[in-house]
Amino acid sequence: MPLGTLDRTPPPFFKQGPSALSKLMVFSALALFLMVADTRFRITQPLRAAVATVLYPVQWVALRPVMAVRGAGEYFIALHSAQQTEEQARTKLAQQSQRANQVEQLALENARLRKLLDLRDRLSTPGQAAEVLYDAADPYTRKVIIDKGMTQGVQEGSPVIDESGVLGQVTRVHPLISEVTLITDRDQAIPVLNTRTGARSVAYGDPSAVHGGTLELRFMANNADVQPGDLLTTSGVDGVYPPGLPVAKVDKVERKLDTFARIACTPKGLVDGARHVMVLKPVSAQIPPRPPVERQAPVPQRRKSGPGGAP
């Protein structure tokens, strides 16, 4: 075969197409077009929905082991929490049973001692349940509005409590609602009794943001026997609150040499989240009125006689 008849062109397998730069530009423009079109016209939304539908069984099967392990972990955590809650409930029930037995014994001893000393029995304070409607609109006071008023027999000055302790006092009565000033209000003061020492004092409201709405025992000497953890109850000497109601717990005691001790207390009642309360009648409304004081006629004074019997 003569050399001039040979085909010098490369075979199709070795033919070169467009350059790499051209391919990069074309595919980049295509990708940019598809992104803009998908953002504006959502042309790939049906495709995505179809792919998600097809892959859902695969995803469901793949997630089963993960869900099983997670469910087993949550089950054991819930079981441990339930066991701890049950143990705490049993402990609290045993403590309450012991306290109930002690209360019955103390009540019996108290009744015998009162009969022995011929003292008057303590007044039983009647009350009625109420519901907190909303907080007062004044941001500078700590007051709530309850759904009982003059129509239901609520009196101004009635103490208000919840299941944990004293909440406050009714300061304004309307026909259908009443306004209750909480014990953490700056204008509230309540006589209290330290159950550990028997010392009486007065707790004032301290609604400042620094202390978070607490109580403060003011005008207490530096050497006063007050310790963190002491329980303060109503003393009953003010004629408003019945004695023995939990008021607060001593939280911190700061003693200074030149001034009074600063004693911060945490309220026992849910002053920030109470929903259902009990309105009691003031103690002064149950105490018999004082007998009228009889005025004695003035005794006439004798005139001094002068010499010779002349006045």
Give the pLDDT means over successive 10-residue stretches in the chain (311 positions).
57 64 88 84 80 86 88 89 89 83 77 68 73 84 89 89 89 91 90 90 77 79 88 87 89 83 89 87 69 61 54 47
Residue-level length of the chain: 311
Write down the architecture of domain 127-284 according to CATH. Beta Barrel (2.40)
Residue 180: per-residue pLDDT: 92
The answer to whether the CB of 102 falls within 8 A of the CB of 94 is no
Quickly tell me which residue has 């009540």 as its tokens.
Answer: 107
Residue 96: per-residue pLDDT: 82
Residue 63: per-residue pLDDT: 87
Residue 75 carries which DSSP code?
H
Can you say whether the dihedral through the CA atoms of 248, 254, 255, 258 is positive or negative?
negative
Residue 311: per-residue pLDDT: 47
Compute the distance between CA of residue 122 and CA of residue 114 in angstroms, rounded to an integer. 10
Express the helix, strand and coil content of the chain in percent, nearest 5 each.
35, 25, 40
Residue 2: per-residue pLDDT: 57
The residues spanned by each domain of the chain are 26-118, 127-284
pTM of the model: 0.56
Q: Which residues contact 154 (CB under 8 A, 6 or more apart)?
A: 128, 130, 148, 170, 173, 178, 279
CA atoms within 13 A on the CB side of 34: 9
The alpha-helical segments, DSSP class H, found in 9-44 are: 20-41
SS3 sequence of 211-228: CCCEEEEEEECCCCCCCC
Tokens describing residue 157: 């000055």
CA atoms within 13 A on the CB side of 175: 0
Angle among Cα 123, 214, 195 to the nearest 5 degrees reads 40
Residue 233: per-residue pLDDT: 92
The answer to whether the CB of 133 falls within 8 A of the CB of 282 is no
Compute the distance between CA of residue 64 and CA of residue 69 in angstroms, rounded to an integer. 9
